[in-house]
Amino acid sequence: MSTVKRFMLLLFLFALPIVVPVEAAAYNEDGRIHFEALFEVLDRDVTEENTQFAGENFPETTASAQSLRLLGKLSVRIVDPLEIYGLVGGSDLSIDDFGFDADFGGAYGGGARIVLFRERNPRRPFQIFADYRFLQFKVSDSVLFDPTIVDNSGNLVHLLPPSGESVKEKIRWTEHTLKIGVMGRDYAFEPYGGIRFSFVKGKDHVPTSVQTLDLDLKQSDTFGIFLGTSYYLTPSDQAALFIEGSLFDQYSLSGGIRVGF
């Protein structure tokens, strides 16, 4: 199990007991405009479609992808239950099974968050919310592309002799995430959690001297859960630190600071 997955399991184990709201939920009620500076680190499995190269068939491949994102998020509450937001920043991408390890490329996205139900009873206040987000980026890396087969005599044959070809591989990554969760308040803490559905739609571009491959990438798992909390730094609730983790569809950790205006 990777370090990210171990940390995520520990985070959920120790964070679950605080998800008991005892004060009014304050998320996005301290102002109409918010700015967040955040990081995300994730590990998830992706599947690349089968293909044919130099007359030989290759099956679909499942591999582990790791990514670090550094993002800025600007959100605006249009009406009381509805907030829209934009994202801009950068992301890297590593897929070890492909020998792919790209540096940061520009990333952008956006989404919307809506409060489906809000209970303001001071003894047990909470809110139920839904959040949709998309993020897109494109990265590249110089890799050794060396497809091989085993002939009838058991010998390893390189389809790009003598031992592969250096190519500029490019991956375009688009992800969509829908969360449905519940949020409460425990003094300065604002814990929340719920279920999530995530989808990856990617394109792997591999130009070679023999032929150019454009292969589809998609998620291996769609359903997951998430859990997080904010910690308000001021009595006015205008600044907060936050941390959030996800399990199953991806093993991820994100955090940062949010400021309301």
DSSP output for 56-94: EEE--EEEEEEEEEEEEEEEEEEETTEEEEEEEEEEEEE
Q: Which of these ranges, 18-27, 110-119, 236-245, has the smallest mean pLDDT? A: 18-27
Q: Which of these ranges, 25-39, 65-79, 110-124, has the smallest mean pLDDT? A: 25-39
Q: How confident is the model at residue 121 (pLDDT cuts 50, 70, 90)?
A: confident
Question: How far is the CA of 241 from the CAs of 12, 43, 68, in angstroms?
Answer: 18, 23, 19
Select the more confidently predicted residue: 118 or 133.
Answer: 133
Give the mean model confidence (pLDDT) for residues 165-193.
95
Evaluate if residue 146 carries a pLDDT over 70: yes
| CB contact at 8 A, 30 and 232 | no
Evaluate if residue 211 carries a pLDDT over 50: yes
Q: How confident is the model at residue 136 (pLDDT cuts 50, 70, 90)?
A: very high
Cα 173 to its chain centre, rounded Å, is 11
d(CA 98, CA 58): 14
Q: How confident is the model at residue 17 (pLDDT cuts 50, 70, 90)?
A: very low
Q: Which of these ranges, 23-37, 52-66, 105-119, 198-212, has the smallest mean pLDDT? A: 23-37
Question: How far is the CA of 129 from the CAs of 2, 81, 252, in angstroms?
Answer: 31, 9, 21
Give the mean model confidence (pLDDT) for residues 101-105.
97
- Any idea where the domains of the chain sit in the sequence? 3-243
Rg (CA), the chain: 22
Cα dihedral: 222, 228, 234, 237 (round 10): 50
Q: How confident is the model at residue 6 (pLDDT cuts 50, 70, 90)?
A: low
Select the more confidently predicted residue: 134 or 10.
Answer: 134
Give the mean model confidence (pLDDT) for residues 191-218.
97
Percentage, residues of the chain above pLDDT 70: 88
Residue in this structure with the two tokens 């006015």, named with its chain if needed:
236
Strand ranges (E), 120-238: 126-145, 148-150, 156-158, 165-183, 189-207, 212-219, 223-232
Which CATH entry fits the domain spanning 3-243: 3.30.70, 2.40.128, 1.20.120, 3.30.360? 2.40.128
d(CA 243, CA 192): 10
| CB contact at 8 A, 187 and 23 | yes
pLDDT score, position 1: 53
Percentage, residues of the chain above pLDDT 90: 75
pLDDT score, position 185: 86
Strand-strand pairing, 189-207 and 165-183: antiparallel
pLDDT score, position 172: 98
Evaluated on CA atoms 89, 227, 236, 111, the torsion sign reads positive
pLDDT score, position 22: 43
Q: Which residues pair with 174 in a beta bridge?
A: 136, 201
* pLDDT, tens only, 18-41: 444 444 445 555 568 999 999 999
What's the length of the chain? 261
pLDDT score, position 16: 46
